[in-house]
A and B are shown apart, each in its own frame.
Chain A
């Protein structure tokens, strides 16, 4: 990761295309800023010129239809996709993200749509995947220390797992989601990205994950949530960003927005002309 220096005020230049709309919370500094991010896969323009900000202590919902580019945007921040063009700023510094280690070092962690857990490994091993602790002289894994901390983290997040030494293969869908969220926050994260965290969950587990999201926000984290469930979005989000066909088509304060307006932005119908069938 290389830091290429900061702009005088710590602000990145606004994109030529008018830049981001003035934020209502302009007295605060965004912790993460994306400027004019573009990414294509072959002929598919997955993202074109997207600007995106995340502030500390806020939940930003990222919504849009299937294939709108939500997961691609999150993977760009997570270092999985390298954008074709655009800039990423973190805490007022221009940063280069070349791989998954770079955002992790900054304090950005991600829970993927497909969870990215290893079924054959146990819960402790998954929580520590890629960050295993070893004992200095012989460099064997410190299983006890890792298990102890894993149990603490699961407990502090109120995640109920009968035995963290069971392989992921033995857990229910809700338990797996909880493990994935726990892994994302146990490394002093400042920004957490959640790709459809409640998609496969029942009512009770969904509620738990939403509560978990609010708990993360109240601890000062910036939380980005992708969801197709607008009811969930309205329950937790402070701001709602709408993507359509790889472009950002709107940003709404939750308190000033209505579901109809968001749906109109998602589908591309002009608000006012679009009347949902009741």
Chain B
């Protein structure tokens, strides 16, 4: 590392500085989504070799609609992980919010929109409450949300009362997970997405040029764009050849893209990273650290509620078990498998999607092989351990680099 006083070329030729930054990232374990994408490809190849049906359009469409609820919960988990905190209550919030929505819709006859909004607000209120306890009394978020896990599960049982199961019949609620768009709609959306991505890249390059700033290599940018476009068009083609594009996937993508924009391109998002990286530095810079924390817990609660509503819509019912079992663990495992650090300040919202895809693929693939829960839990545990190990090794790499 060159010191401040050492004569070093401010900006080397692009290829050299790209190589240098790649080397720095590899040696410090800061490799982003590469490991999870490699892992996903590997998992898909293994399941495909065991049962070719795994990669059939029907099954892949199933897979993406199965992960919508966990993926949305995972977006919220990514946000709290970026702060260096954790929320263990998301499974219970998932269950309680869906129970509230179901009771209002079925027993009180509320129409879909207010029932859904009420469910979401339950999550927002719980998240705000937990964030307040965490910041005001400085109780570790781990403990506050563990208390929440128990409390909100109790509240779920209470709200559901005598009924063990509430079957949903409101057409709008059922459509959230049940609606499929025909190929024409899918292709239109895909083309819009490609145009937006290309325009964004173009505008950013032009703005950098106008500001007289050095550019990343055009070839590299185009390769990255090409890869993303290939994924979008490929996925659309696969889904278009079967039932069509599921609304639940679009909802999940909406949350992921929206929160990725918020975290990477807004002041609020920048402050989340700052608090997660060095809370004291953020405080001294005048950032309202506790305000950011409460807002993030409120968002996480809301997203857990949204996940619960999507899950209820997919199963067409809410019962005592909604949100229990592996909901919480899968949401956290997904975020970490996707590459978001447990230690705060490093990660991306996209890891909610990639992590949910990994976990969803394992569940789906093992179900296709008629494997029982024993194998499923052990495989998922192994993958999680591998992901956390990568994170911890990367952290050690950074510390060795004097960070």
Contact = CB atoms under 8 A, between A and B. Distances in A.
Contacts of B21: 163, 166
Interface string A119-162: 11100010001111010000111001101100100000001111
- Which one of B4, B276, B287 has the greatest number of beta carbons of chain A within 10 Å? B4
Interface of chain A: mostly helix, strand, loop or mixed: loop
A162 B398 CA distance: 19
A118 B284 contact: no
B23 to A, nearest CB: 11
Interface in B145-193: none
A116 B283 CA distance: 9
Interface stretch (A11-19, A33-41, A59-67, A169-177): A169-177
Interface of A: 78, 80, 99-101, 104, 110, 112, 114-121, 125, 129-132, 134, 139-141, 144-145, 147-148, 151, 159-163, 166, 169-175, 177-178, 202, 204-205, 207-208
Contacts of B273: 118, 120-121, 125
Contacts of A139: 266-267
B138 interface: no
A147 B277 contact: no
A130 B285 contact: yes
B281 A116 contact: yes
Contacts of B345: 118-120
Contact of B8 (A80, A112, A151, A160): A160
13 contacts: A80-B284, A101-B286, A120-B278, A125-B270, A130-B286, A131-B285, A140-B261, A141-B267, A160-B7, A160-B8, A162-B10, A172-B2, A172-B3
Contacts of A160: 2, 4-8, 10
B328 interface: no
B344 to A, nearest CB: 8
Contact of A163 (B17, B207, B267, B274): B17
B3 A202 contact: yes
Contacts of B274: 118, 121, 125, 129-130
Contacts of A78: 284
A148 B208 CA distance: 9
A80 to B, nearest CB: 6
B15 interface: no
Contact of B211 (A99, A148, A174): A148
A144 B213 contact: yes
Interface in B1-59: 1-12, 17, 21, 24, 28
B265 A141 contact: yes
Contacts of B271: 130
Contacts of A175: 3-4
A148 B212 contact: yes
B96 to A, nearest CB: 33
Given A160-B4, A208-B4, A130 B278 contact: no
A76 B262 CA distance: 35
B4 A172 contact: yes
A169 B175 CA distance: 47
A174 to B, nearest CB: 4
B403 interface: yes
Nearest to B6: A160
Contacts, number: 135
Contacts of B221: none
B291 to A, nearest CB: 13
A72 to B, nearest CB: 15
A172 B10 contact: no
Contacts of B314: none
- Which one of A101, A114, A160, A174 has the greatest number of beta carbons of chain B within 10 Å? A160
B284 A205 contact: no
- Which one of A78, A99, A114, A162 has the greatest number of beta carbons of chain B within 10 Å? A162
Given A116-B281, A119-B403, A140-B266, A159 B28 contact: no
Nearest to B276: A120
Contact of A204 (B3, B8, B277, B287): B3
A222 to B, nearest CB: 20
B401 to A, nearest CB: 7
Given A121-B274, A129-B274, A132-B270, A116 B4 contact: no
B270 A174 contact: no
Contacts of B276: 120
Contact of B284 (A116, A169, A207): A116
A175 B402 CA distance: 13
Contacts of A163: 11, 17, 21
Q: Which 10 A-B pairs have the closest CB atoms?
A: A130-B285, A120-B277, A118-B277, A174-B4, A120-B345, A116-B281, A204-B5, A129-B285, A169-B403, A144-B211
Given A119-B403, A163-B17, A140 B285 contact: no
Nearest to A140: B265
B4 A119 contact: no
Contacts of A148: 211-213
B403 A208 contact: no
A207 B285 CA distance: 27
A109 to B, nearest CB: 10
A102 B7 CA distance: 39
Contact of B11 (A141, A162, A172): A162
Contacts of B211: 144-145, 147-148
Contacts of B284: 78, 80, 100, 110, 112, 116
Nearest to B4: A174
A208 to B, nearest CB: 6
B326 interface: no
A144 B211 CA distance: 6
A130 B4 contact: no
B281 A208 contact: no
Nearest to A114: B280
A80 B402 CA distance: 27
- Which one of A166, A170, A171 has the greatest number of beta carbons of chain B within 10 Å? A170
